[in-house]
Amino acid sequence: MHVPDGFIDAPVSAAAGVLAAGAVAVSLKGARRELDERTAPLAGLVAAFVFAVQMLNFPVAAGTSGHLLGGALAAILVGPYTGVLCISVVLLMQGVLFADGGLTALGVNITTMGVVTVVVSYLAFRGLLKVLPRRRRSVTVAAFVAALLSVPAAAAVFTGLYALGGTTDVPLGTVLTAMVGVHVLIGIGEAAITAATVGSVIAVRPDLVHGARGLTAPLKLRVGGELVDAAPAPVAAAPARSPRKVWLTGLAASLVLAGFVSFYASADPDGLEKVAADQGIDKKVEEHAAKDSPLADYGVQDIADARLSGGLAGVIGVGATVVVGSGVFWALRRRRTAAAPVARTEDAA
């Protein structure tokens, strides 16, 4: 379901747009790694496939029918980066050409239907494949679960965006229950179709399924009546890429989201706190040990404007997280590089 203009207010739409643009930029890089210079024709044709398969009607019963959303299917068949790219291009063209989904809501649409479905389904798919036995059957099972999870996840993220910037005060609990409830049902259909489609592709061209790449058995040679492992093909070393650009982009996006969006976000307590207050659960809550810290309750002390103080706290929080996180990584890396020469000298001895 495509969100039209005017459904989510302007600041949150803009923030979702920034998020979607960042995701598309990252996927453009990643897709080049997945497909190299074949990116444009292959991603274009897969996008055309997603566009066409969304028109394939699956009859349910008594005249009703459903169709695929395609996020999970694209992620499993062609990989997460190309998947995000294809769904985003389909949504862009639907918005510009067919007026399906508003132009200002494009960021919201790409974030929920493109990024969230692909990322959630791919993570679930990869995680399940690690656990399940390495057989073709497990790919189908993992595809089923991944597609089943992806649809309600998109609905939940949409509800979150609605809570931040919705233009009508519908009770959030009702929206969440209705959205996730309906989308679990849709997700079951999506899961069945996705699993069957992935299964049929695997049966014919297993090499085309990105998600099943690790499953091909190693090449064996029969030498003198005995099976011997063939020598693995030499793998070209990937050129080292500087992750600095990605880091900087991510940092900028987090800062914008934390500062700018929380500036506009509702000053009301969040859903959980509200439920707690309504039900009287929070009477027993003890004050947090850090309640006197200068950032307690997501605000900066001595700044009277609640929104400005919330935004500042967001920015400071992101900064602190980055500093602490990078510090930990830096320390770990130092230890590893320090340990490496020792190991080498032992080898030499």
Partner 1 sequence: MGAGHTHRLYRHGHSPVHALPPHCKLAAVLAFVIVVVSTPREAMWAFAGYALLLAGVAYAARVPAAFLLKRLLIEVPFVAFAVLLPFVAQGERVEVLGLSLSASGLWGAWNVLAKGTLGVAASVLLAATTELRALLLGLQRLKLPPLLVQIASFMIRYGDVITDEMRRMRIARESRGFEARGIRHWGVLAKSAGALFIRSYERGERVHLAMVSRGYAGSMPVIDEVTASRTQWSYALTLPLAAFTICLLGWFL
Nearest approach in angstroms of CB 230 to partner 1 is 26
Closest distance of CB 297 from partner 1, Å:
26
Q: Which is nearer to partner 1, 38 or 334 (CB)?
A: 38
- Give 57 or 321: the residue with its C-beta nearer to partner 1: 57
Closest approach, Cβ 298 to partner 1, in A, equals 25
Smallest gap, in angstroms, from Cβ of residue 247 to partner 1? Answer: 20
Cβ-proximal residues to 132 (8 Å cutoff; 6+ apart), any chain: 138, 141, 142
Please say which residue, 14 or 265, places its beta carbon nearer to partner 1.
14
Query: Residue 6 or residue 181: which is nearer to partner 1 going by CB?
Result: 6
CB 9, min distance to partner 1, A: 8
3-state SS of the chain is CCCCCCCECHHHHHHHHHHHHHHHHHHHHHHHHHHHHHHHHHHHHHHHHHHHHCCCCEEEECCEEECCCCHHHHHHHHCHHHHHHHHHHHHHHHHHHCCCCCCCCHHHHHHHHHHHHHHHHHHHHHHHHHHCCCCHHHHHHHHHHHHHHHHHHHHHHHHHHHHHHECCCCCHHHHHHHHHHHHHHHHHHHHHHHHHHHHHHHHHCHHHCHHHHHHCCCCEEEECCEEEECCCCCCCCCCCCCCHHHHHHHHHHHHHHHHHHHHHCCCCCCHHHHHHHHHCHHHHCCCCCCCCCCCHHHCCCCCCCHHHHHHHHHHHHHHHHHHHHHHHHHHHHHHHHHHHHHHHHHHHC
Query: Nearer to partner 1 by C-beta: 168 or 345?
Result: 168
Q: What are phi and psi of 9, to 5 degrees?
A: -70, 170
CB neighbour list of residue 42: distance below 8 Å, 6 or more residues apart: 35, 78, 82
Min dist CB 196 to partner 1, Å, is 3
CB of 280 to partner 1, least distance (A): 21
- Give me the least distance between CB of 222 and partner 1, in Å please: 31
d(CA 111, CA 120): 12
Q: Which is nearer to partner 1, 39 or 298 (CB)?
A: 39
**Closer to partner 1 by Cβ: residue 38 or 213:** 38
The dihedral built from the CA positions of residue 54, 110, 1 and 104, taken in this order, carries a sign that is negative
* Cβ nearer to partner 1, comparing 81 with 262: 81
To partner 1, the closest distance from the beta carbon of 38 in angstroms equals: 5
**Cβ distance to partner 1 smaller for residue 99 or 248:** 99
